[in-house]
Structure 1
């Protein structure tokens, strides 16, 4: 597996991955996240145009996509029921969609993110138990609750590299 920036031709494939991920959420009890056509083709196109859309591929097949960019992110300005680990500059991971379950693709993506930066934030819906488990497995700490622009609560996570990693 490898991760790289998406190409324009892959935008529609990313939308298909969103649909697969949406179906997985619904099948696992999460009927409230990614509703109303979100994320959409327009969302994927905007992420691509900003240079923030990434894909995970293997042997020419797209396994996942996600958005990754340097913050700050307005949604992370306020956190409740906890606190961020630090207020240092951070990267943001959003809209991860995995098309193949049980192969560690989500973990692979999060480990790649950890290789790219020393400070990252992400969030997911409280009903998205699978994503929460991947965050914890990959060393992201649960920090509290943030709210989307629409006012929906999300469980917030942060990864901060350890001093040992920074020294190596």
Structure 2
């Protein structure tokens, strides 16, 4: 998914995968909060920080998941505080 501004210039991007991720079948050091249906968000990037682009992209993913009655799974390194 590429996020563009009003001039159609790319400002951010992320991978949105509808459905399960095979790599999540077995995870290390923890458990998922539920075993229900889910979509996956990966690889957030933005042209500039502090403009709310990441929040807008995540809202889009959450709204889509809610309309499909599924959860969102995001995995990231524990030191990746923005994510």
User: Structure 1, residues 65-84: CA drift from partner, whole Å, max 9, x if none?
Assistant: 11111221122112344321
TM-score, length-normalised on structure 1?
0.43
1:55 is the counterpart of 2:2: yes
Answer 1 or 2: which has greater helix percent: 1
Q: Which moved more, 1:57-66 or 1:81-90?
A: 81-90
> Which residue is equivalent to 2:56?
108
Partners of 2:75 and 2:28 in 1: CA distance = 13
Shift of 1:121: 0.5
Report the count of equivalent residues: 78
Q: Secondary structure at the match of 1:129?
A: coil
> Which residue is equivalent to 1:18?
none
The runs of 5 or more residues in structure 1 that have no matched partner are 1-53, 132-168
> Which residue is equivalent to 2:78?
126
> Which has the larger Rg?
1
> Which residue is equivalent to 1:143?
none
Shift of 1:99: 1.2
Shift of 1:94: 0.9
Partners of 1:130 and 1:95 in 2: CA distance = 12
Shift of 1:93: 0.7
Q: Secondary structure at the match of 2:32?
A: coil
After TM superposition, list the pairs within 5 Å mapping 1:1-168 onto structure 2: 54-59=1-6, 60-118=8-66, 119-131=71-83
Q: Secondary structure at the match of 1:112?
A: helix
Q: Which moved more, 1:114-123 or 1:70-79?
A: 70-79
